[in-house]
Amino acid sequence: MKKTTQQQQIIKQLITKLILTEKASRRGFSKSIIPLLNNQTQNNFEDKTEFQYAYRQCDKERELAPFCNMTSKTLSKMTFNHGNYFKATIPNQLYSQVEINPIQHQQHELRFSVQYNEAIMERRVREESIDANIDLSIVYNYSKMTPASLSVSTLVEFVENTSINSLVLSSGWLIEELRIRLAQQVQLLDEMPHGLNLMPSIRIVRDWYLTSFKQLYQIKSKPRNRSEEIEFTNVIRTIYDRHNPTMVSVAGGVAELKEELKKTMLEYIDYTNYSSLKDHLDSFYINRIGIRTLLEHHLSLHDQVENPNCNLSKLICKNTNPILVANRAIKDAQDWCLAHYGKFPQVIVSTSGNQDDLLFPYVPNHLQFQLIELLINSMRAVVENHTDSLPPVGILMSSSQDEVTIRISDEGKGIPRKDMPQLFSYLYSTASVRKEIVNQDGKQGSVAGFGFGLPLVKLYSKYWGGEFKLNSVSGYGTDAYLYFTK
């Protein structure tokens, strides 16, 4: 019997009540919900078996989840159709409203399964027998290994002792290290929650990592001489170039998920508080920082051996000069602002104390990315909130015995206090989504407009032992602070 629009609304209301208002314990949940559904079904539908609710104990890495099996026609009226499967996650806060006590460190998901059951879909996403001509079990076995930790001192020491022989020796270690890290990225992408793992952009990025793993896995022996090291470096350069758009592509995948979630019956739920999504993306990007650092260092050291005058901005630098890096970042941020708004505010750089005291060990390229993202945020806020003269953005650099501090200040009217907790969510952005990459010449593009800038700035700071803080006065402006350890 074909459902009418009114009947579809009844279904929607039932599911909404199930999620938001029903008072039930974990064990009593089915008993309290099913009679309600049956009553409504008896009054409105001939097919009483349409609704089936049950609990399933998932393995400890997953969750205890309610499952709802519905007809394909019914589901298509309520949610978007992603193949034959849709998966949405309800935040823990909502489960507390229905008095379902969450198991510690586990997520709770409401899954809608159409035509295919849970096991079939999990196999489709996670257990493909052959993908990119490599058995995924090999990838997952590598992902269980522990990667080496990277430190500023270790990288600085390696830079200061670079030679052809050291490059040949380090290449063998790098093959195995990158296999582990790339495999972990594949698994992280496969396990992205809330349906993010099924978004088209995420699947593309996942294929990039799988292809890169395959390239390294097919290397059967470590480089033994200069010619083999050159051949290996060509592979590394291919991998590096392949993953240039990763940040923007993953940001695009999150934007795709946000658009899909808006189409569901849960469009009014605040998705910015999805802690599990933030945790997964944090892990993914922390791992990516390590991978990019290893790739960039090998390529830069190789180029340095070939040409001592090459650009070393991607190498760890014992004495990074933040003034020089800031000048490059200002130019890039102003170019971005000009392209999007047709104008930009001036930036005033000032320092406190001796400029030589501002030097600290860091990767100049990483610092430049952080400054670009913060400057774009400030410039955008200034331009959007001032119609006549644009107040300048200020950069203040100061040094103490143990650390260097960089403050970026603007008069862009600030951030409402209620929005402050959401600023580091990947699902939050005050700007309209951009799909293009700012730099099309192989450089790492800005993720301004995706809501990824602040979370990534914080991760870069954390990765290198620093800190990032944000203070704002609503109605006036915002101060961003970067702290770097000497």
Secondary structure, 3-state, 100-127: CCCCCCCCCEEEEECCCCHHHHHHHHHC
Which helix or strand (DSSP H or E) is residue 456 part of? helix 453-463
Q: What phi and psi, each to the nearest 5 degrees, are found at residue 392? A: -70, 155
If pLDDT is split at 50, 70 and 90, which confidence band does 324 have? very high
Asked if residue 466 lies in contact with residue 388, where contact means CB atoms within 8 angstroms, the answer is no
Best CA proximity match to 19, nearest among 118, 121, 108, 115: 108
Q: What is the pLDDT of residues 226-235, one digit of tens each?
A: 999 999 999 9
Residue 310 has what pLDDT? 60
Is the predicted pLDDT of residue 456 greater than 80, yes or no?
A: yes
Q: What is the pLDDT of residues 417-426, one digit of tens each?
A: 988 888 888 8
Q: What is the pLDDT of residues 436-452, one digit of tens each?
A: 433 333 344 555 555 68
Residue 422 has what pLDDT? 84
Work out the average pLDDT over 83-96: 33
d(CA 298, CA 158): 10
**Residue 18 vs residues 22, 77, 89, 106, 195: alpha-carbon distances, Å:** 5, 18, 14, 20, 21
Is the predicted pLDDT of residue 53 greater than 50, yes or no?
A: no
Work out the average pLDDT over 143-159: 85
Residue 315 has what pLDDT? 80
Which helix or strand (DSSP H or E) is residue 339 part of? helix 322-341
Is the predicted pLDDT of residue 19 greater than 50, yes or no?
A: no
Q: Name which residue leads in pLDDT, 208 or 388.
A: 208
Residue 270 has what pLDDT? 60
Residue 296 has what pLDDT? 92
List the beta bridge partners of residue 393: 347
Q: Name which residue leads in pLDDT, 181 or 105.
A: 181
Which helix or strand (DSSP H or E) is residue 453 part of? helix 453-463
Residue 258 has what pLDDT? 81
Tokens encoding 454: 């602040």
Q: Name which residue leads in pLDDT, 247 or 304.
A: 247
If pLDDT is split at 50, 70 and 90, which confidence band does 271 have? low
Residue 39 has what pLDDT? 43
- Whole-structure pTM value: 0.70
Is the predicted pLDDT of residue 335 greater than 70, yes or no?
A: yes
Q: What is the pLDDT of residues 293-312, one digit of tens each?
A: 999 999 988 888 777 666 66
Q: What percent of the chain has pLDDT over 90?
A: 46
* Domain coordinates in residue numbering, the chain: 5-124, 129-306, 317-485
- Give residue for tokens 């799909």: 435
Is the predicted pLDDT of residue 128 greater than 50, yes or no?
A: no
Residue 88 has what pLDDT? 33
Q: Which fold has domain 317-485?
A: Heat Shock Protein 90 (3.30.565)
Asked if residue 186 lies in contact with residue 143, where contact means CB atoms within 8 angstroms, the answer is yes
Q: What is the pLDDT of residues 272-286, one digit of tens each?
A: 666 788 899 999 999
Is the predicted pLDDT of residue 219 greater than 70, yes or no?
A: yes
- Give residue for tokens 């699902």: 427
Residue 93 has what pLDDT? 34
d(CA 302, CA 312): 11
Is the predicted pLDDT of residue 168 greater than 70, yes or no?
A: yes
Please list, in sequence order, all residues whose beta carbon lies within 8 angstroms of the beta carbon of residue 190, skipping any fewer than 6 positions away: 125, 126, 197, 206
Taking 3-state DSSP, the helix, strand and coil percentages for the chain, each rounded to the nearest 5, stand at 50, 15, 35
If pLDDT is split at 50, 70 and 90, which confidence band does 169 have? confident
Q: What phi and psi, each to the nearest 5 degrees, are found at residue 383? A: -65, -40
Residue 146 has what pLDDT? 95
DSSP state of 421: G
Is the predicted pLDDT of residue 45 greater than 50, yes or no?
A: no
Write down the H helix ranges in 271-321: 275-306
Residue 391 has what pLDDT? 97
Q: What is the pLDDT of residues 352-367, one digit of tens each?
A: 988 889 999 999 999 9
Is the predicted pLDDT of residue 385 greater than 70, yes or no?
A: yes
Residue 313 has what pLDDT? 59
- The neighbour count for residue 60, using CB atoms within 10 Å, is 9
- CATH tag, 129-306: 1.20.140.20
Work out the average pLDDT over 160-168: 81
d(CA 9, CA 3): 10
